Amino acid sequence: MLTTTLCAALSAGGLAIAMLTAYRRRFLAATRIAAVSLVPVGLAMAGLVTLGRKVGTATGHWAADLVLKPTVWMGFGVLAVAALLYGVTRLISARLPEGGGRAPAAVPGASTPAIPAGRPAAGRRRGGADSGLSDFADVEEILKRRGI
């Protein structure tokens, strides 16, 4: 109840300032002031002021537990280990060749793999590292033949 009254008083004060600004024929500034001054009463009516207080109280209790409980610190340690493991796997997977180092896929019933090991696939550029545009090599070749 007191919070709602305080928010209404803040909004009323802001609207009074907006009226004085409008009296001076600064309508754009007055409109902005009026918009900002309606925020406190809107927050109170929507219940977000109470929610903010509850979040603040919960954050304070959590911070007190952070200092006083070793299990909270162990929880941060577990989160750090999880992040470290995830990062290491991302680094390792970035260094592995495509396909994760497994043998090339074979067509069912075929005696040899569809793409022989050690040879680049048709349409791929030979030479250095893959630039990420190798899938468009066929399109590029067609455009060159047509003179585009």
Taking the C-alpha atoms of residue 18 and residue 38, their distance in angstroms, rounded to an integer, is 11
Task: Give yes or no for a contact between 20 and 14, defined as CB atoms under 8 angstroms apart.
Answer: no
For residue 65, being part of any structural domain is answered with no
- Say how far apart CA 37 and CA 139 lie, in whole Å: 60
Higher per-residue confidence, 67 vs 22: 22
User: What pLDDT digit, counting tens, does each position of 69-121 carry?
Assistant: 888 889 999 999 999 999 999 998 888 877 655 555 555 665 655 555 555 55
**Average pLDDT of span 5-27:** 94
Asked if the structure places residue 40 within a domain, the reply is: yes
Is 16 inside a domain boundary? yes
Please report whether residue 28 resides in a domain: yes
Question: Residue 3 has what pLDDT?
Answer: 87
pLDDT at 59: 94
Please report, as a single letter, which amino acid is at residue 95.
Answer: R
The mean pLDDT of 108-136, rounded to a whole number, is: 57
Residue 1, domain extent: 1-46
Number of domains in the chain: 1
Does 86 map to a domain?
A: no
Question: Does residue 15 sit within a domain?
Answer: yes
Confidence of residue 142 (pLDDT cuts 50, 70, 90): confident
pLDDT in tens, 29-66: 999 999 999 999 999 999 999 999 999 999 999 888 88
Residue 40 contacts residue 7 (beta carbons within 8 Å) = yes
Please report whether residue 10 resides in a domain: yes
For residue 38, is it within any domain? yes
**The pLDDT of residue 129:** 52
In the block, which residue shows the tokens 């754009």? 28
